[in-house]
């Protein structure tokens, strides 16, 4: 996959096309490189193949639950430090606890505004910068 | 009689006399031997025994008397006749001192006299010999008889005991002789027996059958019986003789017999059962204590003094009279029966009676045994009362058939006792539950099932009644049977079902909330996202992009609106508030239109319409049935594979129209077929992302179809196809009434 230098890659995993398009468009407008997946398996595959800065994950996915992606990311050494923002239609505290317990970095509830999405992504990426750079260096030298 | 010939020895120096005597005596038949001198005579006597010796007193070598003295030692049996030439007093006196000298004859011997003397001797000898033989015989008899023989001296010591007595007592003859009879007697018998002996010694009485015990040498007791008599000698009593018989065996048998008789009487006397012996006339000749206790009388006489009529209850007395009459006529009367008696104190008691013929003191009589079963009867009555009034169904089954059913059982099955008794118990059980009941009942009878089991009964009116049952093994009329008791839990089951339904409803509500929140949030996310994006990035978006975003917002708004409508319809249906706006409608047209529209929504699928004949018009709310058709077609397309073939058919079936929508595809698992019409049911796999809708679709269809008085169902072969069909009633029957009923009774 060809990458634009200097652009951070964000993966959006969401089954609803409209919702996915909206998130992808906002993030593109914010200057990120956006990758998309509409189910868990595809999401995991894309995450493994690309050097990601962040994952946006809808927990309610067809087939496997979005939790599978979260667990997979956290259990894969090369992916484990990638921040994951979980997006769900449920504001229930239980869902939130479950997501954070499984290793989600942030938890957002639908419906999302462009601003809340933008701000959450920016906040996390700035917080993660230090550790991110180190990983970035190592991964780059490895992939050639 | 073979008496030996009397041998006579003649001792005389006178040879002439010899010959004369010899000739004379041999003529008489005696044997004679001659001796010329005393010495010769002594020599002869050493070899031979002579009956009589005739001795000359003046022998040359020895005097007659002296010779007698010598010969006496050799032959004590011999008797002597002394002859002498000159009679002298001296010789005569000497002769007399010898007992064996029987005569003293002076010479010349008078032959006649001698012959007479010897004849006397011969006669006496014969007699003695005969006596001796007889005595030996007696002695042998006494010695060898089976009876014991004893002779006691006046002091009570044994002076004679025969073999049999030795054997009886275990002592040998030496040990017995000289021994005091008292020392042999059993200590307990001494004081009884000894005075009898003493009395006999003084009064000469004979005693018949005196029985006493003797202690055997080995220590055990021997029972003897004797008839002792006094021994008289010269008018005084010289002792006692007794013939003794060992009666030990007889005594032991007698004792055993007596003990057995005592036991028999004891057992009658002490029996806990009342026992009476009556004659064939009905007269009581014996009654034991238990019998008297049952009746409350002190004695048999007191009992007999009370007339029979006063000893029975009136009913029981009538039965008594009948029994008596039958007996008198020789007719059959059962040997056991029950009676109700009146005690002396007036209390009524119930007795079980057994009557049989017995020998009583040698006479055939009737032994009547009474068992007081009052308490048992009362317990039975108590159980009966409990059973008759119990809210529990109680029954007894033997060989698979009802033998007893209580009123509650009759009530819950709707059958009467007459209808139930003798019929197969399993036939009243709901057919699908019979095997379960059989297995559970066997397990419980074996003690392997500790808790009640539940099953369904079919009542006479065909109603299904749920019961909870336990069974136990019992004896009924002497044979194994099963006692069952059950509780009718139909009401409880109904409530349980309601509770489960309520719980399901609750779960559905929370499911509904979660699904609604998800389904509502998805279009909301689109609306919120695109609208904020347009606001925030207004200048950086092309007008084309803005238009597309606004279109997305528009369609999301439509979805939201549709969802809200469905939710409202559902609520109305549930509340029975849905109003149907019925008009006469051609279903053919409606179906074709729905198929056309679905084809537009799912351009990739092939939808075919198959209507076999022209369908009659039906009175329906067109918009609602169209909704149903849209839903079914959408579902069929959504759950098909890519390029699916979906077919919709319509035809008339009797008084209904039947519409089916069939699709090829994954189908529905059999266990889920019944649930697809539940409000929140949605097949888990959602193969076409974005096409899934609210789970309300099929539930709404059911509600709408039922509101029209129709039915709806799903068939499927998993992995191949699924078919959803529904019916609509044709005009003619009161469909409005039907619709209302369905709407209000559905759970």
Tell me the C-alpha distance between B587 and B731, whole Å: 13
> In the predicted model, what is the mean pLDDT of chain B?
83
B71 alpha carbon, distance to own chain's centre: 96
B424: β partners: B401
Rounded Cα distance between B322 and B316, Å, is 10
- For β-strands B79-84 and B721-729, DSSP reports them as unpaired
Q: What is the pLDDT of residues B343-370, one digit of tens each?
A: 999 899 999 999 988 877 777 888 899 9
Q: Which residues of A touch B559 (CB under 8 A)?
A: none
Say if CB B193 and CB B167 are below 8 A apart. Answer: no
| Beta-ladder partners of A19 | none
Residue in the block written with tokens 């044994």: B158
End-to-end C-alpha distance for chain A, whole angstroms: 13
Q: Inform me whether the C-beta atom of residue A108 falls under 8 Å from chain B C-beta atoms.
A: no
Rounded to a whole number of angstroms, the distance from the CA of A117 to the nearest CA of chain B is 9
Nearest to A22 among B518, B526, B540 (CB): B526
State the sign of the Cα–Cα–Cα–Cα dihedral B561, B567, B571, B576: positive
Res B725 pLDDT > 90: yes
Nearest chain B Cα distance for residue A135, angstroms: 32
Strand partners, B149: B243
Q: Assess whether pLDDT exceeds 80 at residue B447.
A: yes
pLDDT band at B97 (very low <50, low <70, confident <90, very high): low
Q: Which residues of A touch B557 (CB under 8 A)?
A: none
Of A89, A111, A114, which has the smallest distance from its Cβ to B527's Cβ?
A: A111
- A2 is a domain residue: no
Helix axes B543-575, B490-537, angle to 10 degrees: 160
Domain CATH for A55: 3.40.50.2300
User: Which of B130, B118, B124 minimizes the C-alpha distance to B27?
Assistant: B118
B533 and A62 in contact by Cβ < 8 A?
A: no
Please give the residue range of the domain that contains residue A89: 9-143
Instruction: Indicate yes or no: CB of B524 within 8 angstroms of CB of A111.
Output: yes
Is this structure's pTM higher than 0.80? Answer: no
> Torsions phi, psi of A48, nearest 5?
-70, -35
Q: How many helices (H) and strands (E) does chain B have?
A: 23, 28
Distance from CA of B543 to the nearest CA of A (A): 15
DSSP letter (8 states) at residue B63:
B
- CB within 8 Å: B522 and A110: yes
A141 interfacial to chain B (CB closer than 8 Å): no
Instruction: Report CB contact under 8 Å: B537, A89.
Output: no
Closest-CA distance, B530 to chain A, in angstroms, reads 6
Domains of chain B with bracketed CATH: 7-139 (3.40.50.2300), 145-252 (3.30.450.20), 271-376 (3.30.450.20), 390-488 (3.30.450.20), 494-557 (1.10.287.130), 578-745 (3.30.565.10)
Buried b (16+ CB within 10 A) or exposed e, B663-685: bbbbbbeeebbeebbbbbbbbee
In a domain, A128, yes or no: yes
Nearest CA in chain A to B519: A89
Predicted pLDDT of residue B682:
54
Residue A2 pLDDT > 50, yes or no? no
B interface test, pick of A42, A93, A95, A110 with most B CB neighbours within 10 Å? A110
Average pLDDT of the residues in B713-720: 87
Which pLDDT band, with edges at 50, 70 and 90, does A61 fall under? Answer: low
A18 and B537 within 8 Å at the Cβ level: the answer is no
Q: List Cα–Cα distances, B212 to A11, B152, B193, B194, B269, in angstroms.
A: 130, 16, 7, 10, 32
Give the Cα separation of B65 and B73 in Å (integer): 13
Q: What is the dihedral of CA B105, B110, B112, B118, to 10 degrees?
A: 30
State whether B522 and A19 contact (CB < 8 Å): yes
- Helices vs. strands in chain A: H and E counts, helices first: 6, 5
Chain A residues with CB-CB distance to B518 below 8 A: 60, 89-90
Residue B482 has pLDDT above 80, yes or no: yes
pLDDT at B127: 84
Pull the structure tokens for residue B49.
């025994």
pLDDT tens digit string along B298-336? 988 898 888 888 999 999 999 999 998 998 888 898 888
ipTM exceeding cut-off 0.85 for this assembly:
no
Residues paired with residue B277 on neighbouring β-strands, in sequence order = B286, B367
Higher pLDDT, A57 or A93: A57
The more confidently predicted of residues B565 and A114 is A114
The answer to whether residues B370 and B351 touch, using CB atoms and an 8 Å cutoff, is yes
Task: Using a CB–CB cutoff of 8 Å, tell me whether A93 touches chain B.
Answer: no
pLDDT of residue B317: 93
Residues of B in contact with A60 (CB under 8 A): 518
Is residue B709 classed exposed, middle or buried when 0-12, 13-18 and 19+ CB atoms within 10 A define those classes?
buried
- For residue A117, list chain B residues with Cβ-Cβ distance below 8 A: 529
Note the pLDDT tens digit of each residue in B185-237. Answer: 888 888 888 888 888 877 766 667 788 889 999 988 898 888 888 877 766 77
CB A26 within 8 A of CB A114: yes
Looking at residue A98, what is its pLDDT?
82
Does A110 contact B524 at a Cβ distance shorter than 8 Å? yes
In chain A, which residues have their Cβ closer than 8 Å to the Cβ of B521?
89, 110-111
Pick from B202, B275, B6: nearest CA to B118: B6
Closest chain A residue to B540, measured at CA: A29
CB contact under 8 A, B514 and A115: no
Which of residues 7 through 46 in chain A touch B, CB cutoff 8 A? 15-19, 21-23, 25-26, 29, 38-39
Per CB-CB distance under 8 Å, the chain B contacts of A34 are: none
Q: Which of A26, A29, A38 sits opposite B689 (nearest CB)?
A: A38
Distance between CA atoms of residues B71 and B706, nearest Å: 161
Domain count, chain A: 1
A5 pLDDT above the threshold of 60: no
| Opening angle at CA A110, ends A104 and A115, nearest 5 | 90
Q: Taking 70 as the threshold, does the pLDDT of residue A62 lie above it?
A: no
| B7-11 and B31-35 beta bridge pairing | parallel
Alpha-carbon separation of residue B380 from A112, B373, B377, B388, B408 (angstroms)? 82, 10, 5, 12, 18
Q: Is the pLDDT of residue A13 over 90?
A: yes
In a domain? residue A1: no
Q: Which of A18, A62, A118 sits opposite B526 (nearest CB)?
A: A18
Beta-carbon pairs below 8 A across chains A and B: 83
**Would the CB atoms of B521 and A111 count as touching at under 8 Å?**
yes
CA dist B351 → B267, B273, B332, B355, B478 (Å)? 20, 10, 21, 12, 19
* Confidence (pLDDT) at B87: 59
Helix H, strand E, coil C: the string for A77-91 is: CCCCCCCEEEEECCC
Q: CB distance B533–A63 less than 8 Å?
A: no
Q: How far is A47 from chain B (nearest CA, A)?
A: 21
Q: Do B525 and A90 touch (CB under 8 A)?
A: no
Helix (H), strand (E) at residue B372: strand B363-372
The span from the CA of B404 to the CA of B415, in Å, is 13
Rounded distance between C-alpha atoms, residue B93 and residue B539, angstroms: 205
Scanning the structure block, which residue is given the tokens 């970095």?
A105
Residue A90 to residue B517, Cβ atoms within 8 A: yes
Query: And the tokens for B570?
Result: 């559902």
In this complex, is the C-beta atom of A62 within 8 Å of any C-beta atom belonging to chain B? yes
Reply yes or no: is the peptide bond before residue A111 cis, omega within 30 of 0. yes
Out of B525, B533, B692, closest to residue A26 by CB = B533
B518–A60 CB contact, under 8 Å: yes
Phi, psi (rounded to 5 degrees) for B299: -145, 165
Chain A residues with CB under 8 Å of B692 CB are 62
A105 touches chain B (CB under 8 A): no
List B157's β-bridge partners, or say none.
B180
Please, which pLDDT band fits residue B661 given cuts at 50, 70 and 90?
Answer: very high
By CA distance, what is A108's nearest residue in B?
A: B525
pLDDT (0 to 100) of residue B154: 82
Contact A115, A26 (CB under 8 A): no
A130 inside 8 A of chain B by CB: no
Q: Given an 8 Å threshold on Cβ–Cβ distance, is B528 in contact with A39?
A: no
- In a mutational test of the A interface, the residue from B511, B522, B534 whose CB has the highest number of chain A CBs within 10 Å is B522
**Pairwise CB contact (< 8 Å): B552 & A60:** no
Residue B82, CA distances (Å) to B44, B57, B109, B302 in order: 18, 6, 11, 99
Q: How many residues does chain A have?
A: 144
B375, B298 contact by CB (below 8 A): no
Q: In terms of CA atoms, which chain B residue is nearest residue A62?
A: B686
A3, part of any domain: no
Q: How confident is the model at residue B15 (pLDDT cuts 50, 70, 90)?
A: confident
**Which pLDDT score, from 0 to 100, does residue B712 have?**
92
- Give the gap in angstroms from C-alpha B699 to the nearest C-alpha of chain A: 22
Q: How many CB atoms lie within 10 A of CB B127?
A: 11
Distance CA B214, CA B55 (A): 59
The DSSP symbol for B541 reads S
Residues B569, B743: contact at Cβ < 8 Å? Answer: no
Tokens of B584: 């006469």
Tokens of A2: 């060809």
**Residues of B with CB below 8 A from A23's CB?**
529
On the question of pLDDT at B473 being above 50, the answer is yes
């Amino acid at each position: 996959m060809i990458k634009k230098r200097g652009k951070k890659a964000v993966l959006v995993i969401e089954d609803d096309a409209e919702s996915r398009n909206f998130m992808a468009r906002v993030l593109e407008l914010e200057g990120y490189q956006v990758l998309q997946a509409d189910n868990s398996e595809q999401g995991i595959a894309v995450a493994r193949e690309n050097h990601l800065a962040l994952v946006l994950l809808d927990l309610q996915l067809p087939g496997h639950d979005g939790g599978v992606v979260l667990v997979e990311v956290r259990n894969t050494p090369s992916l484990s430090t990638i921040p994951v923002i979980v997006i769900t239609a449920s504001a229930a505290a239980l869902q939130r606890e479950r997501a954070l317990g499984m290793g989600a970095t942030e938890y957002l509830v639908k419906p999302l505004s462009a601003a809340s999405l933008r701000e959450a992504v920016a906040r996390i990426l700035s917080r993660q910068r230090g550790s991110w750079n180190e990983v970035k260096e190592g991964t780059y030298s490895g992939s050639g | 009689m073979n008496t030996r010939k009397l041998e006579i020895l003649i001792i005389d120096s006178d040879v002439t006399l010899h010959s004369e005597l010899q000739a004379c005596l041999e003529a008489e038949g005696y044997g004679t031997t001659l001796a010329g001198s005393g010495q010769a005579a002594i020599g002869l006597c050493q070899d031979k025994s002579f009956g009589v010796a005739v001795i000359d007193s003046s022998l040359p070598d020895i005097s007659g008397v002296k010779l007698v003295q010598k010969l006496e030692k050799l032959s004590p049996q011999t008797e002597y006749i002394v002859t002498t030439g000159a009679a002298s007093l001296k010789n005569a006196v000497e002769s007399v001192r010898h007992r064996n000298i029987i005569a003293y004859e002076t010479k010349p011997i008078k032959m006649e006299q001698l012959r007479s003397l010897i004849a006397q001797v011969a006669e006496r000898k014969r007699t003695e010999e005969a006596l001796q033989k007889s005595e030996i015989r007696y002695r042998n008899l006494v010695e060898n008889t089976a009876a014991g023989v004893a002779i006691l001296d006046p002091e009570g010591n044994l002076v004679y005991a025969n073999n049999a007595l030795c054997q009886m007592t275990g002592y040998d003859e030496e040990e017995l002789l000289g021994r005091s009879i008292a020392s042999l007697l059993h200590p307990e018998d001494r004081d009884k027996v000894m005075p009898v002996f003493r009395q006999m010694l003084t009064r000469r009485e004979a005693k018949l059958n005196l029985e006493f015990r003797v202690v055997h040498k080995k220590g055990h007791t021997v029972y003897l019986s004797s008839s002792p008599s006094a021994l008289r000698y010269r008018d005084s009593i010289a002792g006692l003789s007794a013939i003794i018989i060992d009666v030990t065996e007889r005594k032991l048998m007698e004792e055993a017999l007596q003990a057995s008789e005592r036991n028999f009487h004891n057992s009658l006397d002490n029996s806990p059962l009342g026992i009476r012996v009556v004659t064939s006339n009905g007269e009581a000749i014996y009654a034991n204590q238990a019998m008297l206790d049952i009746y409350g009388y002190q004695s048999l006489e007191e009992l007999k003094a009370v007339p029979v009529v006063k000893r029975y209850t009136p009913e029981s007395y009538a039965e008594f009279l009948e029994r008596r009459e039958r007996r008198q006529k020789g007719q059959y009367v059962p040997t056991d029966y029950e009676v109700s008696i009146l005690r002396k104190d007036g209390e009524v008691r119930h007795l079980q009676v057994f009557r049989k013929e017995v020998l009583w003191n040698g006479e055939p009589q009737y032994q009547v045994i009474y068992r007081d079963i009052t308490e048992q009867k009362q317990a039975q009555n108590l159980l009966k009362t409990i059973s008759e009034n119990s809210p529990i169904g109680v029954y007894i089954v033997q060989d698979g058939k009802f033998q007893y059913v209580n009123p509650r059982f009759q009530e819950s099955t709707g059958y009467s006792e007459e209808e139930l008794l003798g019929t197969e118990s399993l036939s009243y059980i709901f057919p699908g539950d019979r095997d379960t009941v059989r297995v559970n009942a066997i397990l419980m009878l074996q003690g392997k099932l500790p808790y009640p089991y539940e099953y369904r009964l079919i009542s006479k009116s065909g109603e299904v009644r749920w019961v909870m049952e336990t069974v136990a093994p019992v004896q009924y009329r002497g044979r194994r049977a099963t006692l069952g008791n059950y509780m009718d839990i139909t009401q409880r089951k109904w409530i349980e079902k309601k509770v489960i339904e309520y719980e399901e409803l609750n779960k559905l509500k929370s499911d509904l909330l979660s699904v609604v929140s998800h389904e509502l949030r998805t279009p909301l996310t689109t609306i919120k996202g695109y609208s904020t994006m347009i606001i925030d990035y207004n200048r950086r978006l092309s007008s084309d992009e803005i238009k597309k975003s606004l279109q997305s917002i528009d369609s999301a708004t439509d979805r939201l609106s549709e969802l809200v409508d469905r939710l409202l319809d559902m609520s109305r249906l549930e509340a029975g508030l849905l109003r149907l706006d019925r008009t006469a409608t051609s279903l053919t047209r409606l179906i074709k239109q729905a198929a056309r529209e679905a084809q537009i929504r799912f351009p990739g699928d092939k939808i075919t319409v198959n209507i076999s004949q022209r369908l009659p018009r039906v009175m329906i709310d067109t918009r609602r049935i169209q909704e149903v058709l849209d839903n079914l077609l959408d579902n069929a397309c959504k759950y098909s594979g890519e390029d699916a073939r979906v077919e919709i058919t319509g035809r008339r079936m009797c008084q209904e129209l039947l519409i089916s929508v069939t699709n090829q595809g994954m189908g529905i698992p059999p266990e889920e077929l019944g649930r697809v019409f539940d409000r929140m049911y949605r097949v888990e796999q959602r193969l076409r992302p974005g096409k899934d809708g609210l789970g309300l679709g099929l539930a709404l269809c059911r509600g709408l179809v039922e509101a029209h008085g129709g039915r709806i169902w799903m068939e499927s072969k998993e992995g191949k196809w699924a078919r959803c069909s529904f019916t609509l009633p044709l005009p003619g029957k009161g469909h409005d009434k039907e619709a209302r009923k369905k709407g209000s009774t559905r759970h």
